[in-house]
Amino acid sequence: MAQFFKAQKRNNKTTRLPVLDIAVDTVDHHGKGICLTHKPIIVVANAVPGELYKIQITEQKQRVWFAKIVKVLKANEHRSAPFCQHYNECGGCSQQDFSASYQYQVKQDALEVFLRKNLDDSVFPPSVSFNDVLPYDDTVRTSIATDPKASKTPAIAYRRKARLSIDSRQASKVKIGYRAKQSNKIIDINVCPILDTPIQEPLFALTQVLKTLPIVKMLGHMTVLSDKQRQQVCLHLTKAPDYSALTQLKEATREIDLELTLELPESYEKSSPKSLVSLSNLVDAKANLAKCQKLNASFSICDDGETNIMLSPNHFIQVNAKVNIDMLKTAKQWLSLTKNDTLVDLFAGLGNFSLHFANDVKQCIAAEGVAEMVELGKQNAALNGLINVLFKHVDLSDVDAFKELNIPENSTFIIDPARQGALELMQVFSKLKPKRILYVSCNPISFARDINCLDEKYQIKQIKALDMFPFTEHIEMMALLERV
């Protein structure tokens, strides 16, 4: 007898997730508030202890619920009004509701709790702790120039490099800005207080002009670079512009006080790879790329007043100059390098550590996995007159590749890997037996994993939190490990 499939009736009723009044007990290393008294625990974004919230549960799992704040029922004394008009929709900052000093302390405490839980006391002794409180001036809530010699600095206006996206699908509603919170939607912004102060006015004058020009349809995004003396914006083109479009752009931006560079697509005169050029030079060359000088590194930074580092818009740098300077000073103090030392800088990049410490050591070996950055690192060494820095292109995940570096035993190592950490390097350390390892990390999870995989016995002697991105949940760190 034939049987026919009969579809079951769908239940169109949607389950309403609970709305609760709660307080959180702690903050985790991701910057999320955790309510431990509820079973299961509840994770609440942007929540801190000492406040009472009305929350909406957004997701329920067996062992953990996730929620968002609907209303703050009781605020603590550190809560303050956001200083940016785009805060509620822009995804750039996530924690402008509190003072920078309070956020730093909360993030530092959460980081220490995580590391204590995941590292043995023999590795992270109780006698070693985070005891540094960043001297933020929380009274400064607008982007104004401040005295560089002041004992305290504002947390705002810290970012010297940023990427702005462009949505030009509707000619009458061009949007230039950052992504929205938890979305790919672009929020059109006309102010950004976290950007370096000198770049703010010319940048937003530029974005307003771009919205009126046909060339905006050819732009994918823009990169902003700012230093004490120079401000630069690189426009990344997805289509090849003609001479008239370039001329129009130059004329329209003539009065805007910043340097304009272009990253041309491969389709531009069949250039491969993409070419970086000055807008002014390309127009002067009548848009003929063959007659226009291509740029390798078109910008420079000088954090210590002595060491110049050249870079292009596509190269990685520490975006927070103030924290980078503090990190370099701390590293110099901890390491106490001498002319008898060999310094090995892994994930060296453009030479942030290598170039700054080269004059303190006998030899510096700078290993980097990106060939382009190695070549620019060599140029930076020559620019600063440093003859004892050896930049090498090395696959840092290949243990055997380190043999060609001829690293002496008892060398001092600095490693500054990406978020995934440097697990493979732990095998290298077990063979080379470094005297000291300065580990700079943007991910405490991979840091703890790596340290636990060290074969040799190393112990944390110094540790410090780095607030590279104030007003966000992110926290970075540096730790000095010595062989015991």
Lookup: tokens for 46: 């942007």
Residues 210-247 as b or e (16 or more Cβ within 10 Å = b): bbebebbebbebbbbbbbeeebbbbbbbeebbeeebbb
Beta strand 476-483 with 299-301 is: unpaired
Three-state SS sequence of 148-196: CCCCCECCCCCECEEEEEEECCCHHHCEEEEEECCCCCEEECCCCCCEC
Q: Residue 284: how many CB atoms within 10 A of its CB?
A: 13
- Residue 122, classified by CB atoms within 10 Å of its CB into exposed (0-12), middle (13-18) or buried (19+), is exposed
- What is the distance between the alpha carbons of residues 452 and 446, in angstroms, rounded to a whole number? 10
Cβ atoms of 186 and 179 within 8 Å: the answer is yes
Lookup: tokens for 183: 């979305």
Cβ atoms of 389 and 414 within 8 Å: the answer is no
DSSP state string for 442-466: S-HHHHHHHHHT-SS-EEEEEEEEE
Lookup: tokens for 451: 């340290």
Shortest CA distance to 318 belongs to which of 25, 309, 244?
A: 309
Residues recognised as catalytic: 442
